[in-house]
Chain A
Amino acid sequence: MTVEPAEKLLAPVLSAFWDDPRSWTLDTYRRHEGYQALTKALAMAPDDVIAYVKDSGLRGRGGAGFPTGMKWQFIPQGDGKPHYLVVNADESEPGTCKDIPLLFANPHSLIEGIVIACWAIRSHHAFIYLRGETVPVLRRLHEAVREAYAAGYLGKNIKGSGFDLELTVHAGAGAYICGEETALLDSLEGRRGQPRLRPPFPAVEGLYACPTVVNNVESIASVPAIINRGKEWFRSMGSEKSPGFTLYSLSGHVARPGQYEGPLGITLRQLLEMGGGMRPGHRLKFWTPGGSSTPMFTDEHLDVPLDYEGVGAAGSMLGTKALQCFDETTCVVRAVTRWTEFYAHESCGKCTPCREGTYWLVQLLRDIEAGKGRPEDLDKLNDIADNINGKSFCALGDGAAAPIFSSLKYFRAEYEEHIAGKGCPFDPARSTAWADKSRTEVNA
């Protein structure tokens, strides 16, 4: 049987020149077709740009997978109000680590995408809301925006088109909830980051109650390549409903964690194959397809196509394509307890089911992990998660319920083992990155 090496499936686009010694600079970006798409877009009517992106089939890379072009189309035109583009660079979903390396190595792809998007939706002021805890990225964004202004890609009369655009880089201050688009808008308005009731949706009343598009970094950064190389090229990758390329982030107990850019629909088996598999001598136990808020999978799901439909059909969500892989040394109860502590910490407190529910989940889980759980606690966990899921303004509560439901589905016996055995049967030392190495190696 002739089998193409798995790595031939990869298709680096956004990451294509990240190994250039000065990959973040305008010079490097220009040497790799940088800002060529902008010239093409500015020669098109704004509505044609929207239609083109819509036809490409690009879907949001921030988790929900909403068609990007459709989001742009929802912006009412001729309404006399200012329009805004806000880029969500608040990447904080546990496991998610694609936008931060993208912005560190190739910030101009985002800036070019921003100018094109703003031309399309008739916006003259855009914002990048970057999580504050990533100063190296902030530094490069400051520099890239400065370079773009100096080169005439931002500011007044961009490249002689008569189009004006201001771009503000805004650093957040530490709050997972600000990755939720309406909480992000409240935060950008200088308030506590709490989600808003919808409708009205941001496309109608977003930033300062004006029509606003909120897009993920990777979504906007993908636009220049689509315009420049064509929607047919983009559609030649992935599937009919999930076309194009994307960044998959492999982490955890794998031999070679990192970013793997390829067509949508690749499987974890293929990614592991090219990534060298699990760490030597261990096997996959459970994993998340798109961050901790997406129901976990097991080794039964290695061949699920990692696109929006494939992962959905298997009972989870593609999310941010954050593939956190845990091997057989890892205690599921410990993992879920820690994620739940995270959701309890990050719940903004606005909605009672999420605020109170996550608190009580933590109490129960800590008891179970410490061997103080009771058999009826498992149904109670499920019941509380059910009372959070779908019952709050935003999806944080749903995210908190996902690891509970899915871990009870696949690993109920392990919870029972903690209860019956009055303690955790796992040794956390065996899960560490250095567990299988000698002490001398560790010190190197």
Chain B
Amino acid sequence: MSAEVSLGIPEMPAPDYPADVRARLETDAREVIARYPGSRSALLPLLHLVQSEEGYVTRTGIRFCAEMLDLTTAEVTAVATFYTMYRRKPSGDYQVGVCTNTLCAVMGGDAIFDELKQHLGVGNDETTADGKVTLEHIECNAACDYAPVVMVNWEFFDNQTPESAKALVDDLIAGREVRPTRGAPLCGYKETARILAGFPDEREGAVEASGGAGPASLAGLKLHRGEAAGARVVPQRAESPAGEGAGYGPVSPAEHASSHDAPQQSAVSDPDNPAGPVTEEDGE
């Protein structure tokens, strides 16, 4: 955060919400607090709740949380600044997060992030001038089998490319309906924050949107059922005990065409190597 350093007279206490907003949020906050044996446990959901009101954690929001939980604003601020999902400045309606942790980065996340920065004309954690899109790079989001992954308002956009990601943000900016690969049709950032505060998504069809499981989640199940190709692995090394003694089928030496002496040589450059793993051998 590019905070100005303020010296001298401390800031005046934050203003309160307008009375009607305050009354509505208090009702919600009491419902949240009642879910926990200890009221302070409600702090994370309440910070999500104040984001659902203003789109980020304002000083007013911090004051509200402190008053609801009988904490000081310093105690609430300490928590709000620890967690990355709490925004500390006004941001876009759509939070576009590109995973640039190692696996996604290598699989193309870095290229996607660079492309989006250029396309949108913003840097990390910056918002487009129209206030629509905030771009950021994110850490591993538990979807590595769908790499590279982009999250928009924490819905999954799997197996992205620079082209698909550009089309995605163009759609968001143009206000076209956008559907994630896994998750519900996008709602705004504030609506998402309300779900995070613990209030179920009431939109028709939101829970069932995008079906049971994504395709990669079903990879093993489909194989087990004989519904997908069971192709042969590219041989990795010439010598291997192939799971001897573990009760699993050994791998025939004939399948090991490449030499272990050349660990850096790619299979494609090895004339003795069978072409590729995804072949015609269907449904063994």
CB distance from B243 to the nearest CB of A (A): 5
Q: What separation, in Å, do the CA atoms of A410 and B184 have in the docked complex?
A: 44
Contact B107 A95 (CB under 8 A): no
Known: A5-B284, A18-B221, A267-B243. A190 touches B144 (CB 8 A): no
User: Is A383 on the interface with B (CB-CB < 8 A)?
Assistant: no
B48: which of A132, A168, A322 is its contact (CB, 8 Å)?
A: A132
User: Is A389 on the interface with B (CB-CB < 8 A)?
Assistant: no
Q: Which of B4-12, B19-27, B122-130, B210-218 contacts A (4 or more CB under 8 A)?
A: B210-218
Q: Which of A36-44, A46-54, A111-119, A253-261 contacts B (4 or more CB under 8 A)?
A: A253-261
Question: Which residues of chain A come closer than 8 Å to B100, judged between CB atoms?
Answer: 338
Contact A269 B236 (CB under 8 A): yes
Known: A139-B200, A168-B36. A105 touches B212 (CB 8 A): yes
Q: What separation, in Å, do the CA atoms of A261 and B138 have in the docked complex?
A: 28
Contact A175 B213 (CB under 8 A): no
User: Is A27 on the interface with B (CB-CB < 8 A)?
Assistant: no
Question: Which residues of chain B come closer than 8 Å to A146, judged between CB atoms?
Answer: 200
Q: What separation, in Å, do the CA atoms of A277 and B236 have in the docked complex?
A: 9
Contact B249 A4 (CB under 8 A): yes
Q: What separation, in Å, do the CA atoms of A272 and B241 have in the docked complex?
A: 16
Question: Which residues of chain A come closer than 8 Å to B151, judged between CB atoms?
Answer: 133
Task: Give the most central of B38, B83, B252: most A CB within 10 Å.
Answer: B83
Known: A176-B139, A335-B102, A433-B147. A7 touches B223 (CB 8 A): yes
Contact B213 A170 (CB under 8 A): no
A135: which of B83, B153, B211 is its contact (CB, 8 Å)?
A: B153
Contact A132 B154 (CB under 8 A): yes
Contact B212 A18 (CB under 8 A): yes
Residue of B nearest to A194 (CB): B82
Contact B145 A258 (CB under 8 A): yes
Contact B213 A273 (CB under 8 A): no
Q: Which of B83-127 contact A (CB under 8 A)?
A: 83-86, 97, 100-103, 105-108, 110-111
0/1 per residue, B71-85, Cβ < 8 Å to A? 000000011001111
Q: Which of A124-183 contact B (CB under 8 A)?
A: 125, 131-136, 138-140, 142-143, 146, 168-176
CB distance from B110 to the nearest CB of A (A): 7
Q: Which of A260-319 contact B (CB under 8 A)?
A: 260-262, 265-267, 269-270, 272-285, 292, 298-300, 302-303, 305
0/1 per residue, B238-255, Cβ < 8 Å to A? 001111001011111000
Known: A94-B139, A208-B38. A190 touches B83 (CB 8 A): no
If over half of B's interface residues share one DSSP class (helix, strand or loop), that class is named, otherwise mixed; here it is loop
User: Is A34 on the interface with B (CB-CB < 8 A)?
Assistant: no
Residue of A nearest to B234 (CB): A277
Q: Which of A8-16, A358-366, A391-399 contacts B (4 or more CB under 8 A)?
A: A8-16
Residue of A nearest to B145 (CB): A257
Task: Give the most central of B48, B145, B232: most A CB within 10 Å.
Answer: B145
A255: which of B45, B153, B277 is its contact (CB, 8 Å)?
A: B277
Contact B201 A139 (CB under 8 A): yes
Number of A residues near B (Cβ < 8 Å) is: 125
Task: Give the most central of B42, B222, B275: most A CB within 10 Å.
Answer: B222
Q: What separation, in Å, do the CA atoms of A16 and B107 have in the docked complex?
A: 29
Number of B residues near A (Cβ < 8 Å) is: 111
Q: What separation, in Å, do the CA atoms of A80 and B237 have in the docked complex?
A: 60
Question: Which residues of chain A come closer than 8 Å to B222, judged between CB atoms?
Answer: 19
Residue of B nearest to A25 (CB): B208
Contact B266 A175 (CB under 8 A): no
Known: A138-B196, A259-B216, A280-B276. A93 touches B36 (CB 8 A): no
User: Is A324 on the interface with B (CB-CB < 8 A)?
Assistant: yes
B103: which of A1, A94, A170, A327 is its contact (CB, 8 Å)?
A: A94
User: Is B192 on the interface with A (CB-CB < 8 A)?
Assistant: yes
Contact B102 A339 (CB under 8 A): yes
Contact B101 A342 (CB under 8 A): yes
Contact B278 A280 (CB under 8 A): yes
Question: Which residues of chain B come closer than 8 Å to A100, judged between CB atoms?
Answer: 142-143
Q: What separation, in Å, do the CA atoms of A173 and B76 have in the docked complex?
A: 14
User: Is B60 on the interface with A (CB-CB < 8 A)?
Assistant: no
Contact A346 B139 (CB under 8 A): yes
Contact B44 A105 (CB under 8 A): no
B84: which of A23, A175, A255 is its contact (CB, 8 Å)?
A: A175
Q: What separation, in Å, do the CA atoms of A3 and B230 have in the docked complex?
A: 13
CB distance from B219 to the nearest CB of A (A): 3
User: Is A420 on the interface with B (CB-CB < 8 A)?
Assistant: no
Q: Which of B172-192 contact A (CB under 8 A)?
A: 180, 182-184, 192
Residue of B nearest to A339 (CB): B102
Question: Which residues of chain B come closer than 8 Å to A92, judged between CB atoms?
Answer: 139-140, 142
B230: which of A175, A250, A274 is its contact (CB, 8 Å)?
A: A274
Contact A136 B155 (CB under 8 A): yes
Residue of B nearest to A298 (CB): B263
A104: which of B82, B182, B276 is its contact (CB, 8 Å)?
A: B182
Known: A94-B103, A251-B145. A7 touches B230 (CB 8 A): yes
Residue of A nearest to B249 (CB): A3
Known: A172-B83, A274-B223. A257 touches B147 (CB 8 A): yes
User: Is A31 on the interface with B (CB-CB < 8 A)?
Assistant: no
User: Is A64 on the interface with B (CB-CB < 8 A)?
Assistant: no
Q: What separation, in Å, do the CA atoms of A269 and B193 have in the docked complex?
A: 43
Q: What separation, in Å, do the CA atoms of A318 and B233 have in the docked complex?
A: 23
User: Is B148 on the interface with A (CB-CB < 8 A)?
Assistant: yes
Q: A133-B85, A171-B196, A348-B82 known; 14 other A-B pairs, CB under 8 Å?
A: A3-B250, A7-B284, A94-B140, A96-B142, A101-B217, A250-B145, A257-B145, A267-B243, A267-B248, A275-B219, A282-B234, A299-B263, A302-B240, A443-B161
Q: List 9 A-B contacts (CB under 8 A).
A: A18-B213, A97-B145, A135-B192, A170-B44, A171-B44, A192-B82, A277-B276, A283-B266, A428-B106
Residues of chain B touching chain A, judged by Cβ–Cβ distance below 8 Å, are 35-38, 40-45, 47-48, 69, 78-79, 82-86, 97, 100-103, 105-108, 110-111, 138-148, 151, 153-156, 159, 161, 163, 180, 182-184, 192, 195-198, 200-201, 206-208, 210-224, 226, 228-234, 236-237, 240-243, 246, 248-252, 258, 263-268, 275-278, 284
Q: Which 5 A-B pairs have the closest CB atoms?
A: A258-B219, A280-B276, A277-B277, A281-B268, A190-B43
